[in-house]
Amino acid sequence: MEQPQVDMSQIRGDWHFHMKYVSHAIDVTLARGMKEWSGLADAAPPATLDALVGQLSAQWGRIAADRDAKGSIRIELPVVAEFEGACRATKEPCDAWVRRHAAGSKHLADVKAFAESCRQLRALCDDLDLMREQKP
């Protein structure tokens, strides 16, 4: 018997339901990252990351404040792409910062936790791309 197949390339159901899930996940993960960042002033944070964290916070604030009639963020706005670019730009400075603390620093666990929050934000940016591609 032929088995029913799932179309791996598509999400199904209500686009707005999924969009609200993605923006909520970013809200929560970004807030956690900001909280971790605020406790890392003594860990010699790189200036590039300092600038990126400021951009992320401001960009997401603008994105979250401008929603459509159904309460979804406006995925097509240029600021969303800019936010994704800033998220993805955290990889190199985060990796370098972790390496710098790798040899027994008392800040290592906290730096790694922040780096993981940034990694998770980068992963969630893939979902922003997906939602943009599949917007009805």
Closest approach, Cβ 73 to other proteins, in A, equals 15
Out of 9, 76, 106, 136, point to the residue binding other proteins (CB under 8 A): 9
As given in the structure block, the two tokens for residue 77 are: 């706005």
How far is the C-alpha of 93 from the C-alpha of 115, rounded, in Å? Answer: 9
Closest approach, Cβ 87 to other proteins, in A, equals 12
Q: Are 23 and 73 in contact (CB under 8 A)?
A: yes
Closest approach, Cβ 16 to other proteins, in A, equals 14
Question: Does position 34 bind other proteins by CB under 8 A?
Answer: no
Q: Which of the ranges 40-48, 55-63, 78-86, 126-134 carries the binding residues for other proteins, by CB under 8 A?
A: 126-134
Sign of torsion, CA 93 115 91 19?
A: negative
In angstroms, the Cα distances linking 134 to 6, 31, 72, 84 are 17, 27, 14, 17
As given in the structure block, the two tokens for residue 59 are: 């960009």
Site for other proteins in 76-105 (CB under 8 A): 91, 95
Q: Which residues bind other proteins (CB under 8 A)?
A: 6-13, 18, 21-22, 24-25, 28-29, 32, 91, 95, 112, 116, 119-120, 122-124, 126-127, 130
